[in-house]
Amino acid sequence: MSNVTLHTLTARKQAGEKFAVLTAYDATFAHQVSSAGIEMILVGDSLGMVLQGRDSTLPVSLDDMAYHTECVARGNQGAMIMADLPFMTYATPEQAMASSAVLMQAGAHIVKLEGGSWLCETVSQLAERGVPVCAHLGLTPQAVNKLGGYRVQGRTRESALQMIEDARRLEEAGASMLLLECVPSLLAQEITMNAGVPVIGIGAGPHTDAQVLVLQDILGITTGRTPRFVKNFLAESDSIQGALRLYGEQVRDGRFPSAEHGFD
């Protein structure tokens, strides 16, 4: 596979072609995921739970993210690498620039941050300085204490309109991608239709331009409750490489996620 870039994925959106994203935190799995043709790897701060056994993403440090981004970059075979800016490392535009520099120098091609319109100035300054940004809306796990738990977001008319407005303003500020986590499928559809940039979904129904899941979840290696938007692809395959390829195929041809994996 030739290297996947922002240009590749933006063209995919414009052509109405979906793409697949998976998390990876180390070189071996980055190699497996990218050589299976998965277009994008997310070095997510979910590593706080998946690797470190914590009960939230809040304790993950910038050093942790830089270390795992470097590991992923060494194993990667041409996928685009997105890295999460962890909790409180982008509270001001200046801090966001310094933190993003660390992740980009570790091998990220795009950074992801969580939040709404309050991030417009940060997104704009990063974009102007050559750092592509993905804005994560809906259930933003770094704000779990404010949200009162890991709940579906955007179910009231007011919160749905706010999310539509946040998405519009963040794109206008220069966000290169949006990510919607745990939002009703129809709201995700509306945001995706209105966006000029690719919209990645998780628990956001079948209508987004791309889908992301945690790698361990699609291999059925979980330590707790399995959310409804997860599917075990290893159960339908006889190898890890087969499961990764199946996930990519089913996302691209629209078989996954189906309505049962989304929320009303």
By CB atoms closer than 10 A (0-12, 13-18, 19+), residue 130 is exposed
Cα 154 from Cα 33, distance rounded (Å): 32
Cα 77 from Cα 1, distance rounded (Å): 8
Cα 167 from Cα 175, distance rounded (Å): 9
How many residues lie near ligand KIV (CB under 6 A)? 11
Dihedral of the alpha carbons of 226, 232, 235, 236, in degrees to the nearest 10: 150
Among 79, 214, 215, 230, which residue sits at the site for ligand KIV (rule: CB under 6 A)? 214
Which of 121, 181, 190, 260 is catalytic? The answer is 181
Contact call for residue 176 and ligand KIV (CB under 6 A)? no
Instruction: Report the first-to-last Cα separation within the chain, whole angstroms.
Output: 37
Total number of residues shown for the chain: 264
Name the segment binding ligand KIV (CB under 6 A); options: 12-20, 42-50, 64-72, 149-157: 42-50
Cα 43 from Cα 26, distance rounded (Å): 9
Please state the closest distance from residue 64 (CB atom) to ligand KIV, in A.
12
Please state the closest distance from residue 230 (CB atom) to ligand KIV, in A.
11
Compute CA distances 36 → 4, 71, 82, 157, 233, whole Å: 13, 18, 17, 40, 13
Contact call for residue 212 and ligand KIV (CB under 6 A)? yes
Please state the closest distance from residue 233 (CB atom) to ligand KIV, in A.
17
Contact call for residue 126 and ligand KIV (CB under 6 A)? no
Among 46, 76, 125, 185, which residue sits at the site for ligand KIV (rule: CB under 6 A)? 46
Helix, strand, coil percentages (3-state) for the chain, rounded to 5, are: 45, 15, 40
Query: In the annotation, is 181 catalytic?
Result: yes
C-beta of 115 vs 239, nearer to ligand KIV: 115
Contact call for residue 45 and ligand KIV (CB under 6 A)? yes
Structure token pair of residue 151: 């709940």
Contact between 111 and 132 (Cβ < 8 Å):
yes
Please state the closest distance from residue 140 (CB atom) to ligand KIV, in A.
9
Please state the closest distance from residue 42 (CB atom) to ligand KIV, in A.
6
C-beta of 104 vs 179, nearer to ligand KIV: 179
Name the segment binding ligand KIV (CB under 6 A); options: 41-49, 96-104, 127-135, 190-198: 41-49
Among 64, 166, 171, 181, which residue sits at the site for ligand KIV (rule: CB under 6 A)? 181
Name the segment binding ligand KIV (CB under 6 A); options: 24-32, 37-45, 96-104, 116-124: 37-45
Contacts with ligand KIV by CB under 6 A lie at 23, 42, 44-46, 84, 179, 181, 202, 212, 214
